[in-house]
Structures are given as structure tokens and as C-alpha cells.
């Protein structure tokens, strides 16, 4: 019974119109990011071949490991991805429970199957759909970028702006970058999956469809937390908010 | 004879206008009661966060050994609306979005997101049937967006004003250049009282009204979450790209002529905001005429 319920919820979560829109949005961001990065790489490569690059060319700066969607910190696509995903990730399934409670569907279901099974399958589907909405574009970006950019090892003497010397996972990043990329995908998946669960918890108290929980107001903060957690630690963001320091510092 | 006929026509016209104005007045009163007075709790988080940001900024002076500097309310407003300096995507220069600025404008968009459409799919149908005019309903909702945005910004300004009084912060139009340079990384070029008012009060409010009205108008075409997403994209893209096409640029001090020579012009900003407001209201008028209300309900 539980498997059937989970299957049903998963179908609702993954094959809806809203999830299709979510994937379309994220894939278009990934493609835009890949195309812009490929253009930059081609320009650099042509200049490098013709000897136009003066001084230290910092070849590792065009590496796959600091230019894919999960590691790039300068492009619009990456910033938009991490800023908007707390909103986009909840679109497919965000207010499914609110809608079902309001329409009376929940009463019909929990009179037929145990309440625990129904809510567990809801939570499970919410976690999986939120996680996939983030993990698939990240993986797709890594695969697409690996078709274009060389997978050069990063060197900790250069200021890439991605992961500093004292950042979390810095040792791993500079010694063996591939597992770190997997770890970033996993962290992204868990973070946005958990974000979706938080949305669901909120729905028990506030069932107004069309209104997202207060997390919608802090997409910047939540995605910022995720990014800083993965790169420079939470202190930077907290410092930015509470010390009144400029965002550029 | 002809004069009497003209007089009668004008009386009839005036009577119609008066009656329409009365209906609009009643609709606005209804919106104020249901859309503002019964939703006042939504302004509380804004007031709390404004206090947190203001106190945080005040405390940061002590962390940077700037206690002796004369902090004014203009410094605090500059902190709120500083935005982001023009960004150049270079190696090692990570893009960090302006959290405070984005929060202020996104919360304003969130405040005006739900009420008009929950009204349209609820009691709004009855209201439209009784007033016999979709046009008036739309006009009252536009007016409600104006009022809500003004009230929201009034909360921000009032809370910072009250906290300034409590913390003995100077209320003058002057500001401390050293605090701006050290805490906000901002060196303003030429500052006159008029420029300060426009960049810290008029343009942020106008930009927010324009974005909220665009969101309201888009709500007649798409689902609400996509409208909020569109507002978020416009505001976020404004922090990344410096272009007059992205209206958020006009509400950032660091993008204005006060901060940089090639910055965004105030007049251009006011015209762009006014144009977007008129366009959104006009598109809404056009759309609401044939909008299928019953299907939505």
C-alpha cells in the first residue's frame, strides 16, 4: 500500500506541468551558462595559441572545476540559479498538500490508507522532487561543460574566487577535485530537498494556495547560506548582514 | 433650447462620473479594509528586519572604531538602498548579491502578490457583479498596490526614524563620508539635498510600485508564483547587469549618478518607472475586459 501511495505521489510530483516548467527554466540556464563559458574559453584559447596572452596565462582558470554551474562564482547564470532555486524548486509540488487539504482530497485518502503512509509518501515525494530539480541541472552542467572545457587540476596559489585556502573542503578541492563536485551536487540535492520539506511543514499551519512560506522572501539568504556553506563558511553572509559591511567586501 | 439640452447632458455626465467615483471610492474603502487593515501583521516582519538591519549597522560602527563619527539617518538609508556597484565578471571577483536591498524589494512584491487574486477568485466576483464594472475593480486594485507599497516603505522609514531617535542618531540631511567609505565602500560624487531625496525616497518607492504593478498585471496572464518569479528575476538581474531596461537599477544608489559618472540618471528613472506603471495599468485594463473570472473561481 505504501509503495503504491509513494508511486502515486512521485508521479504527481515529477510529471506535472509545473515540474516541466521548472526543468525547462533550469535547463535553459544551464545551456546559457555553457554557451557563454564556451565562448570565453574559445576566445582565451585563440589568444593563447596566437601568443596574445601576456605574462602568466593562468591556464587553470579555464578549468572545468571552477567553471561549471556548481563552482562558478562570477556568471549571471550561476548566481541566478542559486538565487532563484529556492523558489523554482518548490514550484512543482510546493502547495500540493495545501491544495489537497483545501479540496478535501486528503480526507478521502486518509480514510482509506493510514495517515502516516499518506504523509510519509508526501514528504518522500517532496524531498525527491526538490532534490532532483537541483541535482539534474547541476549534473547536466558538469557533463556539458566537460565536453567543452579541460578538466585541469586547480592550484591553490591562484585567486579563483571559488574556494579559498581556509574554506570548507579546500584540501579536497585542490588535491582531488572530482569527488568535491559530487559532494557539491549532493549538498545541493540535500539542501533543496530539505527546503521542500520545510515548505511542507509550513503547509500544516498555513494552507493558502498561491502563497509560499516565508522562505520565498529569503531566497537570497537560503541560497546564500548554501553557497557560503560550500565555499567560504557562513560567517561571510552573517557578517555581511549584521556588520553592515558592503556587499562587495 | 439647445443650451438647456447641453446643460441636461452635462448634468447627466456629471451624475455618471459622480456615481462612478462613488463606486470607486467604495471599492477602495473595501480594499483598504480587507487588503490593508486585516493584513497589518504582514508589516511586522518588515519592521523587525528593519530594526535588525539598523541596529546591526549601528553596532558595526563600534566594530570598526567609528564611534566618534557622526552617524545620520541618511547613512542608514544609504545602507538600505546602496544596492550593488556595477559588477564585472573577472577571475577572483565573486558575485555577492545585495541581501538587504533585495529583501526590501522582494518583500514588497510578496505583500502585493496574493490579495488581488484571492479577492478575484473569492468575493471579487460578487463585487464586480454589483459594481457592474471590471474596470473599476482593476483600478481599485491598482490603487491598493500604490497604497500598500507606500505603507510598506513608510514602515521602513518610520522604524529607522524611531530607532534613530532612540539611538541618538542625527536626523539631519548631511551624512558621514567616512562611514560611507569604510562601511559601505561608497564615495558619493556630488550630493545635494534634492538628489538624496530622489535616490533614497522617490526612486525606491516608484521602482517598487512599478515592479508590483507589473506583477499585478502579469497575474492576469500567468499563475501567481510565476509572477513573483518574474519580479525576483527582474530585481536580481538588476543587481547583476547595469542597464536602464532593468528597472531595479534606478533604485540603487551605487548605480546612480551620485556614485558614478556614467550612472543611472534620475529623470530617466522617474520616466521609466512612470512608463512601466502606465503600461501595466493599461495592459491590465485591456486584459480584465475579457478575463474569464468564473473559470478561475
Lowest mean pLDDT among A91-95, B30-34, B190-194: A91-95
pLDDT the model gives residue A155: 75
Average pLDDT over residues B274-294: 91
DSSP helix/strand/coil, B277: helix
pLDDT above 90 (res B120): no
Query: pLDDT tens digit string along B149-188?
Result: 999 999 999 999 999 999 988 888 888 888 888 888 888 7
Between A141 and A85, name the one with better pLDDT. Answer: A141
The DSSP string of A3-17 is HHHHHHHHHHHHSSH
CA distance A175 to A153: 8
Task: For residue A167, give the DSSP letter.
Answer: S
Instruction: Encode burial over A213-232: b for 16+ CB neighbours within 10 A, e otherwise.
Output: bebbbbbbbbbbebbbebbb
Residue B66: is its pLDDT beyond 90?
no
Lowest mean per-residue pLDDT among A35-44, A147-156, A200-209: A200-209
pLDDT at A217 over 50: no
Q: Classify A244 in phi/psi space as left (phi over 0), alpha (psi -120 to 50) or beta.
A: left
Residues of B in contact with A249 (CB under 8 A): 185
Instruction: Convert the pLDDT of each residue in A160-199 to its tens digit.
Output: 666 666 666 666 667 766 666 666 666 666 666 665 555 5
pLDDT of A122 reads 86
What pLDDT, on the 0 to 100 scale, is given for residue A131?
A: 82
Confidence of residue B40 (pLDDT cuts 50, 70, 90): very high
Mean pLDDT confidence for A57-65: 82
Q: Which residues contact residue A89 at a Cβ distance below 8 angstroms, ignoring those fewer than 6 apart?
A: A22, A130, A133, A134, A192, A195, A196
Quick one: cell of B71?
552617524
Question: Is the confidence at residue A78, as pLDDT, over 60?
Answer: yes
Grid-cell match 473559470, residue found: B295
User: Would you say A136 and A88 are in contact if contact means Cβ atoms under 8 Å apart?
Assistant: no
Query: A248 vs B85: CB contact, 8 Å cut-off?
Result: yes
* The C-alpha cell that represents A10 in the structure block: 512521485
Chain B CA closest to residue A212 = B225
Interchain contact B122–A (C-beta under 8 A): no
pLDDT at residue B55 in the model? 93
Contacts B113 to A, Cβ<8 Å: 210-211
Q: For residues A103-118, give the mean pLDDT.
A: 87
Answer whether B228 sits within 8 Å of A221, measured CB to CB. no
Flag whether pLDDT at A21 surpasses 80: yes
Smallest CA–CA distance, residue A214 to chain B, in Å, is 9
Of B79, B95, B232, the CB nearest to A87: B232
| A97's grid cell | 498538500
Sign of CA dihedral B188, B189, B192, B198: negative
Verify whether the Cβ–Cβ distance A76 to B223 is below 8 Å.
Answer: no
Length of chain A: 249
pLDDT of residue B173: 82
Please check the confidence at residue B29 and state whether its pLDDT lies above 50. yes
pLDDT at A239: 34
Return the SS3 of B113.
coil
pLDDT at res. B280: 96
Arithmetic mean of pLDDT, A134-159: 84
Nearest chain A alpha carbon to B57: A244
Map residue B72 onto helix, strand or coil: strand
| Alpha carbons B163 and A190: distance in angstroms, whole number | 40
pLDDT surpassing 50 at residue B99: yes
The percent of residues above 90 in pLDDT, for chain B, comes to 53
Cβ contacts of A211 on chain B, cutoff 8 Å = 113-114, 224
If DSSP codes are grouped into helix, strand and coil, which group holds residue B170?
Answer: strand
Neighbours of A239 (CB within 10 A): 16
ipTM: 0.75
CA dihedral A183, A184, A189, A195 (to 10 degrees): 120
Asked if B228 and A87 come within 8 Å (Cβ–Cβ), the reply is: yes
Per-residue pLDDT, A234? 34
Q: Which residues pair with B170 in a beta bridge?
A: B72
Q: Does B281 touch chain A (CB under 8 A)?
A: no
Q: Do A242 and B114 touch (CB under 8 A)?
A: no
- Is the pLDDT score of B206 beyond 90? yes
β-bridge partners, B264: B256
- With a CB cutoff of 8 Å and minimum separation 6, the contacts of A174 are A153, A154, A155, A156, A163
**Alpha carbon distance A83, A219 (integer Å):** 6
Select from A63, A190, A25 the least CA-distant residue to B232: A25
**DSSP label of B255:** G
Average pLDDT, chain B: 87
Distance from CA of B276 to the nearest CA of A (A): 24
Tell me, what's the pLDDT at B21?
73
List, for residues A25-51, the tens digit of each pLDDT value: 889 999 999 999 999 889 988 988 888
Q: B76 pLDDT exceeds 80?
A: yes
Q: Which residues contact B159 (CB under 8 A, 6 or more apart)?
A: B47, B50, B51, B54
- Predicted confidence at residue B124, as pLDDT, reads 80
- What residues 71-90 of chain B have any CB closer than 8 A to a CB of chain A? 79, 82, 84-85, 89-90
pLDDT at A209: 44
Q: Is the pLDDT at A108 greater than 80, yes or no? A: yes
pTM: 0.80
Place of cell 593562468: A58
Q: Which residue of A has its CA nearest to B54?
A: A244
- Of B29-43, B112-126, B144-158, the range with the lowest mean pLDDT is B112-126
**Contact assessment for residue B135 and residue B288, using Cβ atoms and an 8 Å cutoff:** yes
Query: At residue A63, what are phi and psi to the nearest 5 degrees?
Result: -65, 150
pLDDT of residue A223: 42
Q: What is the pLDDT of residue A219?
A: 41
Q: B65 — contact with chain A (CB < 8 Å)?
A: no
Percent of chain A exceeding pLDDT 70 equals: 62
pLDDT given at position A211: 45
Interface-testing mutation among A217, A223, A224, with chain B (most B C-beta atoms within 10 A): A217
Share of chain A above pLDDT 90, in %: 7
All cell numbers assigned to B120: 478575484
* Substitution target from B89, B109, B183, B187 for chain A, most A beta carbons within 10 A: B89
What's the grid cell of residue B152?
A: 510598506
Proportion of chain A in helix, strand, coil states, percent, rounded to 5:
70, 0, 30
pLDDT of residue A242: 33
Q: Is A241 left (phi over 0), alpha (psi -120 to 50) or beta?
A: alpha
What are the distances in angstroms from CA B59 to CA A10, A229, B56, B85, B181?
49, 25, 5, 24, 17
A87 vs B contacts (CB less than 8 Å): 225, 228-229, 232
Three-point CA angle B12, B141, B32, nearest 5°: 95
Percent of chain B residues topping a pLDDT of 70: 91
Range of weakest confidence among A153-167, A170-184, A229-243, B60-74: A229-243
Average pLDDT across chain A, whole number: 72
Amino acid at each position: 500500500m505504501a509503495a503504491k501511495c509513494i508511486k502515486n505521489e512521485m508521479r504527481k510530483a515529477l510529471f506535472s506541468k509545473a515540474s516541466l516548467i521548472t526543468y525547462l527554466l533550469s535547463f535553459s540556464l544551464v545551456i546559457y551558462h555553457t554557451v557563454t563559458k564556451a565562448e570565453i574559453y574559445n576566445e582565451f584559447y585563440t589568444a593563447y595559441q596566437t601568443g596574445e596572452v601576456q605574462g602568466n596565462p593562468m591556464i587553470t582558470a579555464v578549468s572545468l572545476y571552477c567553471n561549471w554551474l556548481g563552482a562558478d562564482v562570477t556568471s549571471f547564470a550561476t548566481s541566478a540559479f542559486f538565487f532563484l532555486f529556492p523558489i523554482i524548486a518548490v514550484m512543482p509540488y510546493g502547495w500540493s498538500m495545501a491544495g489537497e487539504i483545501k479540496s478535501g482530497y486528503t480526507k478521502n485518502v486518509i480514510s482509506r490508507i493510514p495517515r502516516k503512509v499518506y504523509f510519509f509518501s508526501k514528504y518522500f515525494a517532496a524531498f525527491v522532487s526538490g532534490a532532483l530539480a537541483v541535482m539534474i541541472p547541476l549534473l547536466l552542467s558538469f557533463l556539458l561543460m566537460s565536453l567543452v572545457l579541460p578538466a585541469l587540476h586547480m592550484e591553490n596559489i591562484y585567486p579563483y574566487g571559488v574556494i579559498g585556502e581556509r574554506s570548507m573542503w579546500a584540501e579536497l578541492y585542490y588535491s582531488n577535485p572530482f569527488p568535491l563536485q559530487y559532494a557539491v551536487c549532493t549538498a545541493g540535492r540535500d539542501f533543496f530537498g530539505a527546503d521542500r520539506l520545510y515548505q511542507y511543514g509550513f503547509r500544516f499551519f498555513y494552507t493558502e494556495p498561491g502563497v509560499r512560506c516565508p522562505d520565498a522572501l529569503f531566497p537570497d539568504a537560503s541560497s546564500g547560506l548554501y553557497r557560503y556553506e560550500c565555499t567560504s563558511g557562513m560567517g561571510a553572509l552573517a557578517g555581511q548582514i549584521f556588520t553592515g559591511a558592503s556587499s562587495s567586501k | 433650447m439647445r443650451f438647456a439640452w447641453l446643460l441636461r447632458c452635462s448634468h447627466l455626465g456629471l451624475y455618471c462620473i459622480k456615481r462612478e467615483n462613488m463606486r470607486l471610492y467604495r471599492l477602495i474603502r473595501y480594499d483598504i479594509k480587507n487588503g490593508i487593515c486585516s493584513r497589518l501583521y504582514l508589516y511586522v516582519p518588515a519592521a523587525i528586519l528593519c530594526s535588525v538591519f539598523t541596529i546591526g549597522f549601528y553596532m558595526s560602527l563600534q566594530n570598526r572604531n567609528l564611534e566618534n563619527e557622526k552617524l545620520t539617518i541618511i547613512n542608514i538609508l544609504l545602507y538600505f538602498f546602496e544596492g550593488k556597484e556595477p559588477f564585472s565578471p573577472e577571475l577572483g571577483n565573486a558575485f555577492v548579491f545585495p541581501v538587504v536591498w533585495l529583501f526590501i524589494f522582494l518583500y514588497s512584491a510578496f505583500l502585493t502578490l496574493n490579495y488581488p487574486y484571492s479577492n478575484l477568485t473569492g468575493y471579487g466576483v460578487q463585487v464586480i457583479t454589483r459594481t457592474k464594472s471590471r474596470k473599476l475593480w482593476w483600478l481599485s486594485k491598482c490603487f491598493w498596490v500604490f497604497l500598500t507599497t507606500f505603507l510598506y516603505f513608510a514602515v521602513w522609514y518610520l522604524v529607522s526614524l524611531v530607532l534613530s531617535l532612540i539611538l541618538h542618531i542625527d536626523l539631519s540631511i548631511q551624512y558621514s563620508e567616512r562611514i560611507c567609505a569604510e562601511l559601505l565602500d561608497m564615495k558619493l560624487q556630488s550630493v545635494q539635498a534634492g538628489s538624496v531625496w530622489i535616490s533614497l525616497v522617490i526612486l525606491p518607492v516608484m521602482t517598487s510600485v512599478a515592479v508590483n504593478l507589473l506583477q499585478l498585471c502579469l497575474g492576469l496572464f500567468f499563475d501567481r508564483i510565476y509572477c513573483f518569479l518574474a519580479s525576483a528575476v527582474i530585481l536580481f538581474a538588476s543587481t547583476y547587469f547595469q542597464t536602464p531596461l532593468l528597472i531595479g537599477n534606478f533604485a540603487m544608489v551605487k548605480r546612480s549618478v551620485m556614485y558614478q559618472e556614467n550612472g543611472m540618471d534620475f529623470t530617466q528613472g522617474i520616466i521609466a518607472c512612470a512608463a512601466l506603471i502606465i503600461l501595466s495599468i493599461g495592459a491590465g485594463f485591456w486584459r480584465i475586459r475579457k478575463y474569464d473570472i468564473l473559470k478561475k473561481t
